């Protein structure tokens, strides 16, 4: 009896995940060669901008807030954990990064925390901010690694970075997710009256978005993940669908949104282009304009607020 | 503009500024995502313990024969000099703590078998091993060098010293380990395809 219950529990917990993992493995094995980015930005400093964003790919975004630069979840590697190949090359050569005021890491998964990529920004940032529990799973670097609890802030020279609540899953090597139950976060950056939300990787949690809006009522921009979407019954615990990302955008009350976390690596059943296509359809149904939801190509930089 | 006229105008502006987003907010889903199913720490330790029972296959090379074998491994204590925090770890050790640079005390029971005209036999070794990163702080590639002291059971029971050299990849999950024991009869060189979960 005990054995059957245990077997049922193990099968129940693992089969949906195994099926998805098997399909993802098959898609990875037949992945096309990495696409190149035709016109990479050579100098990402935009003197005419108060707020600019450059989508490097996946959750990596170079943000310019006046004269300060912040980099989110830097991943420049061509494979994830030596298994999942990159579909589109990084939209910016890390050698061309300006001096950074801070780098933030949303959680420890391979598509958000790349130790090799951090090597490439090591001399460009004084600090890397991480969620609780992550420091003990990171190698030593020249920069400071500081953990931020939810609602805690890092402040330096006018820039304030605050950890905000999201729902995801911690850990890096599967088994450690049992111990790293708080090791995921979003962030809000504030500088010179500008504030920007970065969702990292999150499921749809209205209360978290409302609480963030209550503290940051004037978000100029929300960087929100829109993928992986399929299979939804498996992804719903940890990832927003494109439609839910639009709901999150509304709840955050941000002036504009840039979708992230799609079409860079294979980590789902989604076909290339499916998530932004779904997003466009939902935008149309809601009457949201291209000004409100700005879908960037990998490597594209956009000035969102000019001086 | 009269005072009476200003009130509705103010209300209209206020609605435009604050009312409209709230109205939009009412249209969004209020249903939160279910909480993810996460292993409990006890279950994780159980899985880790079960995973330690999975042996690493060996190719055992003696002076006059070639055989097979299995090796299990445990790390009672490890000091990581490559990790940013909590350098001292025991048993359940994160791959990055090990492969970013560390020194471990390891214990390995081994079983040699399958050589023609030779008896199968057990061996236990304990030793120190140094891990050093090669690529991506050791997650992609790392190497190791170590020494151990063994006790071989059975008819040819004897003790002795061995040296080993290893190369590891895929977050330390897979590797090749070469153990040389010049004085260990019938098992002078042991090549292990190392499999390890934490």
Nearest CB to A178; choose among B41, B84, B95: B41
**A chain contacts of residue B198, beta-carbon cutoff 8 Å:** 173, 175-176
The CA-based diameter of chain A, rounded to the nearest angstrom, is 70
Range with lowest mean pLDDT among A216-220, A276-280, B7-11, B155-159? B7-11
* Average confidence score pLDDT of chain A: 92
pLDDT (tens digit, 9 = 90+) per residue, B76-118?
999 999 999 999 999 999 999 999 999 999 999 999 888 777 7
Return d(Cα A256, Cα A289) in angstroms, integer: 10
Residue-level pLDDT at B156:
59
Residue-level pLDDT at B17:
40
Average pLDDT, integer, range A241-259: 97
Average pLDDT, integer, range B151-167: 85
Q: How many CB pairs under 8 A join A and B?
A: 123
**A chain contacts of residue B48, beta-carbon cutoff 8 Å:** 175
Nearest CB to A206; choose among B30, B48, B135: B30
Q: What is the share, in percent, of chain A residues with pLDDT greater than 70?
A: 92
Comparing alpha-carbon positions, the chain B residue that sits nearest to A79 is: B140
Terminal alpha carbon distance of chain B: 75
Residue-level pLDDT at A24:
67
Alpha-helical runs (H) found in chain A: 2-29, 115-121, 206-215, 232-235, 242-252, 274-286
Nearest CB to A13; choose among B27, B37, B170: B37
**Interacting residues of B133 by C-beta distance below 8 A, sequence separation 6+:** A139, B82, B99, B100, B101, B141, B142
The angle subtended at Cα A26 by Cα A25 and Cα A32, nearest 5°, is 100
Is A217 near chain B, with CB under 8 Å?
A: no
Could you tell me which residues of chain B have a Cβ less than 8 Å from any Cβ in chain A? Answer: 21, 24-25, 27-41, 43-44, 47-48, 82-86, 94-97, 100-101, 133, 135-140, 169-171, 197-198
Return d(Cα A90, Cα A25) in angstroms, integer: 22
Taking alpha carbons only, the member of B131, B191, B121, B126 closest to residue B160 is B126
Residue-level pLDDT at B64:
79
Alpha-carbon separation of residue B146 from B12, B104, B163, B192 (angstroms): 77, 9, 6, 14
pLDDT (tens digit, 9 = 90+) per residue, A160-203?
999 999 999 999 999 999 999 999 999 999 999 999 999 999 99
Average pLDDT, integer, range B139-159: 87
ipTM: 0.87
Residue-level pLDDT at B187:
78
Return d(Cα A54, Cα A298) in angstroms, integer: 8
Range with lowest mean pLDDT among A235-244, A261-270, A293-302? A261-270
Question: Tokens standing for A14?
Answer: 């693992």
Question: Tokens standing for A267?
Answer: 């980590």
Beta carbons within 10 angstroms of residue B117's beta carbon: 6
Average pLDDT, integer, range B125-140: 97
**Interacting residues of A292 by C-beta distance below 8 A, sequence separation 6+:** A255, A256, A257, A283
Higher pLDDT, B172 or A31: B172
Angle, in degrees to the nearest 10, between helices A242-252 and B20-27: 150
Q: What are phi and psi of A135, to 5 degrees?
A: -60, -35
Comparing alpha-carbon positions, the chain B residue that sits nearest to A116 is: B136
pLDDT (tens digit, 9 = 90+) per residue, B162-186?
999 999 999 999 999 999 988 877 7
Comparing alpha-carbon positions, the chain A residue that sits nearest to B21 is: A253
pLDDT (tens digit, 9 = 90+) per residue, A88-144?
999 999 999 999 999 999 999 999 999 999 999 999 999 999 999 999 999 999 999
**pTM for the whole thing?**
0.88
């Amino acid at each position: 009896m005990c054995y059957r219950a245990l077997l049922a529990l193990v099968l129940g917990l693992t089969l949906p995940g195994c099926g998805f993992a098997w399909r993802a493995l098959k898609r990875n094995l037949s992945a096309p060669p990495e696409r190149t980015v035709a016109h990479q930005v050579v100098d990402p400093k935009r003197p005419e901008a108060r707020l600019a964003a450059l989508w490097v790919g996946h959750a990596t975004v170079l943000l310019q807030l006046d004269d300060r630069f912040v980099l989110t979840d830097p991943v420049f590697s061509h494979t994830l954990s030596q298994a999942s190949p990159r579909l589109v090359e990084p939209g910016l050569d890390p050698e061309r990064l300006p001096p950074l005021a801070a780098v933030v890491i949303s959680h420890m998964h391979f598509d958000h925390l790349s130790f090799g990529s951090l090597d490439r920004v090591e001399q460009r940032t004084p600090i890397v901010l991480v969620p609780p529990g992550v420091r003990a799973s990171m190698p030593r670097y020249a920069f400071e690694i500081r953990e931020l609890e939810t609602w805690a802030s890092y402040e330096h020279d006018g820039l304030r970075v605050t950890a905000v609540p999201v729902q995801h899953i911690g850990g890096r090597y599967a088994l450690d997710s049992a111990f790293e139950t708080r090791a995921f976060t979003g962030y809000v950056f504030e500088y010179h009256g500008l504030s920007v939300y970065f969702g990292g990787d999150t499921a749809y949690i209205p209360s978290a978005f409302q609480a963030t809006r209550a503290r940051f009522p004037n978000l100029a921009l929300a960087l929100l993940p829109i993928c992986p979407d399929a299979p939804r019954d498996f992804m719903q615990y940890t990832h927003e669908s494109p439609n839910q990302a639009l709901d999150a955008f509304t709840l955050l009350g941000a002036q504009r949104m840039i979708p992230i976390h799609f079409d860079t690596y294979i980590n789902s059943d989604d076909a290339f282009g499916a998530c932004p296509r779904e997003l466009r359809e939902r935008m149309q149904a809601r009457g949201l304009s291209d000004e409100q939801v700005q879908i960037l190509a990998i490597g594209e930089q956009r000035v969102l607020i000019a001086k | 503009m009269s005072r009476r006229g200003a009130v509705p105008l103010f209300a209209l502006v206020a609605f435009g500024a604050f009312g409209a987003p709230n109205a939009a907010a009412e249209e969004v889903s209020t249903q939160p995502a279910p909480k993810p199913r996460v292993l409990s720490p006890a279950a994780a330790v159980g899985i880790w313990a079960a995973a330690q029972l999975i042996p690493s296959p060996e190719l055992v090379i003696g002076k006059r024969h070639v055989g097979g074998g299995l090796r299990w491994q445990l790390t009672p204590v490890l000091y990581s000099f490559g990790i940013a925090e909590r350098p001292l770890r025991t048993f359940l050790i994160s791959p990055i703590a090990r492969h970013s640079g560390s020194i471990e005390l390891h214990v390995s029971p081994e079983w040699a078998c399958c050589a023609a005209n030779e008896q199968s036999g057990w061996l236990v070794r304990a030793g120190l091993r140094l891990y050093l990163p090669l690529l991506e702080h050791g997650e992609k590639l790392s190497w190791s060098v170590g020494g151990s002291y063994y006790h071989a059971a059975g008819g040819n029971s004897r003790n002795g010293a061995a040296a080993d050299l290893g190369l590891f990849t895929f977050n330390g999950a897979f590797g090749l380990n070469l153990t040389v024991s010049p004085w260990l009869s019938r098992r002078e060189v042991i090549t292990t395809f190392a499999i390890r979960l934490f």
